[in-house]
Structure 1
Amino acid sequence: MANPSSSPHLVVLTGAGMSAESGIQTFRAADGLWADHPIEEVATPEGWARDPERVLRFYNARRDQVRSARPNAAHQALAELEADGFTVSIVTQNIDDLHERAGSRHVVHLHGEVLKARSSVKADLRYPLPQGGIEMGDLCDLGSQLRPDVVWFGEAVPRFGDALELVAEADLLLVVGTSMAVMPAASLIDAAPMAAPRVLVDPQADELITTGVNGLALSAGEGVPRLVEHWRRQRRLVLPGEVL
Structure 2
Amino acid sequence: MLKQAADVLKNASRAVVMTGAGCSVEAGIPDFRSPSGWWRQIDPRTVATTEALEHRYELFHAFYAARIEQLREVRPHNGHSILSKWEHQGRLQLIATQNVDGLHQAAGNRNVQELHGSIRHFRCASCGRPGAEQAFLDRAPCTCGGRLRPDVVLFGEQLPEEAWHASLAAIRAADVVLVIGTSLQVYPVNQLPFLTDGTLILLNAEETGEDHRFDLVLHGRAAQLLQAMDEQ
For the 8 Å contact 1:11–1:90, the answer to whether it is kept is yes
1:182 aligns with: 186
Could you tell me how far apart the structure 1 residues matched to 2:10 and 2:59 are? Answer: 52
Tell me: CA distance 1:209–1:104, structure 2 relative to 1, closer, same or farther (3 Å): same
Q: Deviations over 1:82-135 (max 9, x none)?
A: 122323310111110111111111111111111111121345x43453x57434
Question: Aligned pairs, how many?
Answer: 222
For the 8 Å contact 2:80–2:104, the answer to whether it is kept is yes
Q: Deviations over 1:191-211 (max 9, x none)?
A: 11x2x1110001214765123
Tell me: CA distance 1:34–1:10, structure 2 relative to 1, closer, same or farther (3 Å): farther
Could you tell me how far apart the structure 2 residues matched to 1:209 and 1:35 are? Answer: 32
1:216 aligns with: 218
2:5 aligns with: none
CA positional deviation for 1:33:
2.5
Q: Structure 1-normalised TM-score?
A: 0.82
Identity of aligned residues (%): 33
Unaligned runs of 5+ in 1: 231-244
2:229 aligns with: 227
Greater helix percent: which structure? 2
CA positional deviation for 1:39:
3.5
Could you tell me how far apart the structure 2 residues matched to 1:52 and 1:14 are? Answer: 29
Q: Structure 2-normalised TM-score?
A: 0.86
Tell me: CA distance 1:147–1:207, structure 2 relative to 1, closer, same or farther (3 Å): closer
CA positional deviation for 1:167:
1.2
For the 8 Å contact 2:121–2:132, the answer to whether it is kept is yes
1:237 aligns with: none
CA positional deviation for 1:6:
9.3
Q: 1:30 aligns with which of 26, 35, 50?
A: 35
Q: 1:75 aligns with which of 55, 80, 89?
A: 80
2:210 is the alignment partner of 1:170: no
Could you tell me how far apart the structure 1 residues matched to 2:12 and 2:185 are? Answer: 31
Over the residues paired in the alignment, what is the CA RMSD in angstroms?
Answer: 2.4
